[in-house]
Amino acid sequence: MGENAARSIRDKVCVVGVGESEYGRHGSIARPEFQLAIEAILAACNDAGLDPRRLNGFASYANDRNDAIRIATALGVEQTAFNNMHWGGGGGGVAGAVANAAAAIIAGYADYVVVYRALAQGQFRRFGQASVTGRSRGQDMWRLAAGLLTPPQRFALPIRRYMYEYGVTSAQLGLIAVASYKHAQHNPRAIMNGRPITIEDHQNSRMIADPLRLYDCCQETDGAAAVILTTPERARDLRRPLVYLAGAAQGAGYREGAMSDNRPDYTTAAFSDVARRLYASAGMGPEEIDVAQIYENFTGLVLMAMEDFGLCGRGEAGRWVEGGRIEHQAVADTGAPHAGALPINTSGGNLAEAYTHGFELMVEATRQLNGTATLPVEGARTSLLVSGPGVAPASALILHN
């Protein structure tokens, strides 16, 4: 066995169950955030056919408030052998938390690890709301003083520069939103189910932070989602077809976390290093990806992430998404030559399904390969998950069946 194969997680861990609570607009769900987390975990256990008391590992990210010991106590878990938190306040930890759980299983620390994320903004504060105190640290020392108080204001800057450098138009950003909303119409769980949009709707929507319009921005919702991981040997005794982790990577490249928007690769999603290591870990390249779930905090960052992961050339993503290429064939204009070539965010994603800090994308990445997706991509064997474009640390993984 070569060194790369020995260090890879490929085919050593399976995702055996996925679960969600209901999704609702921010502040609309009266139940506590902790209860939503429990609901999602129990749903994932039911999906797997696993007694929740057999869970002995817990992982999350972005400082999730629902600590593992309290969850284990509520579930009646006899032994908690592993609990882990991926650093970073943004959505860059979705795949990273899953990868950490996989590492724990491979190391023998735990047998069944649940990875989860929960948000109840009515109980706490609205997630996308500005929060200014008398003190600041890190990048906020520069951003808050310049009036960059909210995520749309912050990410509008690199997106505008990217559009200027490569001639990307607002309408091309809008194609990301239109595709997500089209997919949500086939997903009864989606917040925007029954509310499709057109490119004209996108172009006529109000400006939030130039160049980002209303439909360029993710939802703000309440809810929770969870997945369960174990070894292939244990997975064979459970309910779902095996879905393997092919590879995972997390972290950042040179100065991708530089302060004051001063990183050298400013017109990228800061994934160049992570993408390279991901493909090496999985032993495959971008041409082998059948379906992708790309975290859409804002549409422009999706275009940058596509380029970082080699799905198209640098500066080409705006034109590349035209003609329905990223839409599922069931909703695309089949007259276009590349319609349905690489569907992304097939459940509606952060833009139109819900914003569980991106963890609903991990659920959909799994469902595309275990036969339970509401809009399945025919013949899909590989699923790419890209977590947190534009932040550091970030993460990504590839699943296959």
- Catalytic residue of the set 116, 162, 244, 295: 295
Is-cis flag, bond preceding 286, omega within 30?
A: no
Is-cis flag, bond preceding 211, omega within 30?
A: yes
Do 179 and 326 touch, CB atoms closer than 8 A? yes
Crossing angle of helices 33-48 and 68-75, in 10° steps, is 60
Do 324 and 339 touch, CB atoms closer than 8 A? yes
Cβ burial 185-194 (10 Å sphere, 16+ → b, else e): bbbebbbbbe
295 is catalytic: yes
CA distance 63 to 144: 21
164 is catalytic: no
The full length of the chain comes to 401
Q: Catalytic residues, which ones?
A: 295, 355
